[in-house]
Structures are given as structure tokens and as C-alpha cells.
Amino acid sequence: MRIPDYPSADAEKWSAVDEYFSHLLAPADAGLEAALQANARAGLPAHDVSAPQGKMLALFIRMQQAKRVLEIGTLGGYSTIWMARALPAGGQLISIEAEPRHAEVAVKNIANAGVSDRVEVHVGAALDVLPTLKAPFDLIFIDADKKNNPHYLQWALRLSHTGTVIIADNIVRGGAVADADSADPNVAGVREFLRMVAENPRLDATAIQTTGEKGWDGFAMAVVIAEPPHIS
């Protein structure tokens, strides 16, 4: 069993359900399986999305018929491969990774999974890379250092069009998100991100708690419902 990020008395049951769902609905292919093994061999932190979560991201791409996808935080490319597999012909995924060692593993995993033709990994701090990207993206997945989530949201909005879907991982953090006085900068980053999402009239959003092999966490999801105000 994978060690959950957030321990719980029910961890084994949550994991068993994830395993059941994965086998049934999100079976690993050789590329995904090899990526997890390569990540473990390289000593990358096991913070990849679970298989059912990877499948959820893939389904979002299909539901929306997204052609251009942006991922902030590649890690070893596991979620990248799930999303790349869901892209239509001619689709493109740009993924940003700050840690060169992670990016190197990811690029190999992405090539091994046969999706290099539609994936670009940009190595560098996301706040340096984001200003260099061509807008717009149809779906943006935020899954990097959570303390910068407020900045990533601002960039996601700049790189969006009406209809763009913005998803953020790890917004529950074992329940810590409900603690307004948390000293954890990740919690503070997520809370400020959620506050900004809630008060932005261009966004319609919700947040969903999840349990599973990673423990207790969740996703925020927003859709851009309006163009930015005209500045004259």
C-alpha cells in the first residue's frame, strides 16, 4: 500500500477502494506503470495523483474537448501522461517543473509513454516560465508549490479564455485547509487561492474533498465565465 500523505484510521479501506476503482476504470498501461517505477527509483517524492484522479483529469480534458493544456508542477510526469493521452490529435500540453532532476525523469517517462509529440516540459520556476507562454489554454492544472497558488491563479487567469477550466490539487491537506490560523505556508497559500477564486467575478468554482490512497485531500475547480474587464 502507498504511504498516504495524510494518515487516517481508514487509510487501508480508502486504499482498497482506490485499488478496486483503478482496476475497473483506470487501469495502468505500461507507460504509466513504468513512470511510477522510474520515479521511485529516482527517489522522487510520491506525490503523484492516484490513478482514478489521473483518469478524472483525462475525463475533464475529454469533456471540455481541451486542445491546449497547461500543467504547473510536472514532478515525474505521471499526471502529465494521463492528460496527454486524453488530448485530441494536434493537442498540446505544456508542463512546468522547477526541479531539473524531476524534469529529467519526467521527460524520459513521457517519451517512454509515447506522448512526447504533444508534451513540452519547461524547466524553471513557474513564475519565470509562465510569462513566456502563449495564451490561451483550455485547461490549467495547478499542482506545484502550494504557497505560490495565489500567483499561479493570477497567471492562469491571464492565460485563459472564457470557458477555460482551472483545477488545483491538494486543497484540503488532511483537513488543515479549514484552519484559518494555520502556520503552514502551504495552507495559507491554498486559503488565499480559494479566497481569490471565490471573490473573482470571472470565475465560477467549487472545491471537493477526496479520500483514497493519498489520504484525505481534494481539488478546487473553476471555470472562467467572463472576459477580463476592458481597460481603456
Residues near Mg ion (CB under 5 A) are 143, 169-170
- Minimum CB–partner distance for residue 134 and ligand DHB (Å): 26
The closest alpha carbon to 221, from 155, 153, 175, belongs to 153
List the beta bridge partners of residue 218.
209
- Minimum CB–partner distance for residue 178 and ligand DHB (Å): 17
Q: Which residue is nearest to ligand DHB (CB)?
A: 47
- Minimum CB–partner distance for residue 163 and ligand DHB (Å): 26
Q: Across the beta sheet with 165-169, what order do the strands follow?
A: 119-123, 92-97, 68-72, 139-142, 165-169, 215-224, 203-212
Q: Encode burial over 109-122: b for 16+ CB neighbours within 10 A, e otherwise.
A: bbebbebeebbebb
Which of 149/160 has CB closer to ligand DHB?
149
Degrees (nearest 5) of the Cα angle 36, 39, 42? Answer: 150
Which of 148/170 has CB closer to ligand DHB?
170
- Minimum CB–partner distance for residue 186 and ligand DHB (Å): 7
Using CB distances below 5 to 8 A depending on partner kind, what does residue 202 bind out of Mg ion, ligand DHB, none? Answer: none
Which of 5/99 has CB closer to ligand DHB?
5
Which of 2/47 has CB closer to ligand DHB?
47
Contact 219, 60 (CB under 8 A): no
Residues 188-207 that bind ligand DHB (CB under 6 A): none
Distance CA 213, CA 131 (A): 35
x/- mask, ligand DHB, residues 163-182, rule CB under 6 A, reads ------xx------------
Which of 18/169 has CB closer to ligand DHB?
169
Out of 18, 71, 143, 213, which residue is the one contacting ligand DHB (CB under 6 A)?
143
* Cell triple for 165: 477550466
- Minimum CB–partner distance for residue 181 and Mg ion (Å): 24
DSSP 4-73: PSS--TTHHHHHHHHHHHHHHHS---HHHHHHHHHHHHTT--S-PPPHHHHHHHHHHHHHHT-SEEEEE-
The closest alpha carbon to 55, from 89, 29, 88, belongs to 29
- Minimum CB–partner distance for residue 148 and Mg ion (Å): 13
Residues 30-69 that bind ligand DHB (CB under 6 A): 47
* Cell triple for 3: 504511504
Which of 18/169 has CB closer to Mg ion?
169
Q: Which residues bind ligand DHB (CB under 6 A)?
A: 5, 47, 143, 169-170
